[in-house]
Structure 1
């Protein structure tokens, strides 16, 4: 029996997904909504909503007149591009042992493009954080985050940036990172990026160029993430 909570649908979804990953459903067939509702002690509406979310993730699929089944192809998706995730967790999902190194933290005047994206006045101060994420001790992701200095309300140390940025924003800025507006950009590695990621210069990279927004739709962070695609593959399901 699952305990009721404000996030009951998400709790049910996670429970069903764990069973799927543990091959807990015979022949990959998901029980009926009624059977699941009785088993977990929740309403059919909650079950239906949880299954709809799993279907949207590509974890299950419905076949008219036959039932609901595990989508083996969808289980290959280790990272969903439309979700906010910590890179450490993403690397773990790909089977790596993750670690993080802070390259630099500096306060500077916001470059014009950063000020524009964050709705800041010209030369407003920002804190720029460069981090390197490693998979089994191999550099795989470099990030550059620009955070308006005026948002930070509590004293912080260098070590505080070891946590994911959404945690720092919540703890030290009282800001909830609700979503990113992301642009996926292919580019060739600069000399600096190549040295940091231990790859040849001009090697092709994938860049996430992102602006993060709070619950009031106000920009609170500008982020760049550079991925080595030889160690990390990003997949998605495209639907008709």
Structure 2
């Protein structure tokens, strides 16, 4: 893909489309040795938009950690940026991620049940305390080895009168929800929490009790801003690790990513 391949874009959503086109260009550029973006004027000309629009789009991508300004006002692609296409997309699904990374995937649905939301869960899901919620527990295996233990929680009312069975949830609860409800996932908020392996987690993930473990609590939102699901995911360090790109321009964490470790240590 070259900058000249980009199409002129709809003026109604010009800024957002410019961001999306540039992000795709950065992550899919064919020449990986090329660290420099074309000039703002060249990009603007190829897209048929103003330099101001391009400048605004580049600022967003800089905040995301995909690019940075070098001395001489050149816009450079970060070496981290091209790795992002291999990282977990937290609005996506773990199963697809593991398969994309070359693993043979298996998913074991440990349980699915209806329960009543306690005060904490109710507050997160924006439902009443005691309201019925669906809880699905799964283990994702990578090449036959436990990689992630996942707990999905969502309000029962969004599923209406649907009959629930283990086969419905399979590998992608995200597809299940989008296909069977009026919700479409948009974004999420993730909190990383270090903890020690309990007896229960030891049995599920085949880890030593009291060994360190990383948990991610994830609140998933629909396009209308409503909370659809609250997940807890427990990652096996041997297979999945997290990394962060930090900017020198303030203390802000620019981009959170993750990398997957094959068992040969790559």
Do they fold alike, i.e. is TM over 0.5?
yes
Contact 1:132 1:139 in 2 (8 A): yes
Aligned-pair Cα RMSD in Å? 3.1
> Which whole-Å CA distance do the structure 1 matches of 2:129 and 2:28 have between them?
53
> Which whole-Å CA distance do the structure 2 matches of 1:43 and 1:92 have between them?
40
TM-score of the superposition, structure 2-length normalised?
0.73
Bigger Cα displacement from structure 2, 64-73 vs 92-101: 92-101
Equivalence for 2:160: 153
Distance 1:52 1:165, change over 3 A: farther
2:94 to 80, 87, 96: 87
> Which whole-Å CA distance do the structure 2 matches of 1:96 and 1:47 have between them?
38
2:38 to 20, 31, 35: 31
Equivalence for 2:179: 171
Bigger Cα displacement from structure 2, 92-101 vs 181-190: 92-101
Shift of 1:225: 0.8
SS at match of 1:29: coil
1:138 to 139, 145, 148: 145
Tell me whether 1:191 sits opposite 2:209 in the alignment. Answer: no
Contact 2:26 2:81 in 1 (8 A): no
Shift of 1:121: 3.2
Distance 1:36 1:117, change over 3 A: closer
Shift of 1:147: 1.2
2:230 to 212, 219, 222: 222
Bigger Cα displacement from structure 2, 137-146 vs 34-43: 34-43
> Which whole-Å CA distance do the structure 1 matches of 2:34 and 2:45 have between them?
21
> What are the ranges of 5 or more consecutive residues in structure 1 without an aligned counterpart?
none
> Which whole-Å CA distance do the structure 1 matches of 2:107 and 2:19 have between them?
29
Tell me whether 1:4 sits opposite 2:13 in the alignment. Answer: no
SS at match of 2:240: coil
Equivalence for 2:128: 121
Shift of 1:109: 2.6
Shift of 1:197: 1.6
Distance 1:157 1:51, change over 3 A: farther
Contact 1:8 1:46 in 2 (8 A): no
> Which whole-Å CA distance do the structure 2 matches of 1:11 and 1:113 have between them?
36
Distance 1:71 1:135, change over 3 A: same
TM-score of the superposition, structure 1-length normalised?
0.80
Shift of 1:226: 0.7
> Which whole-Å CA distance do the structure 1 matches of 2:189 and 2:28 have between them?
33
Bigger Cα displacement from structure 2, 94-103 vs 127-136: 94-103
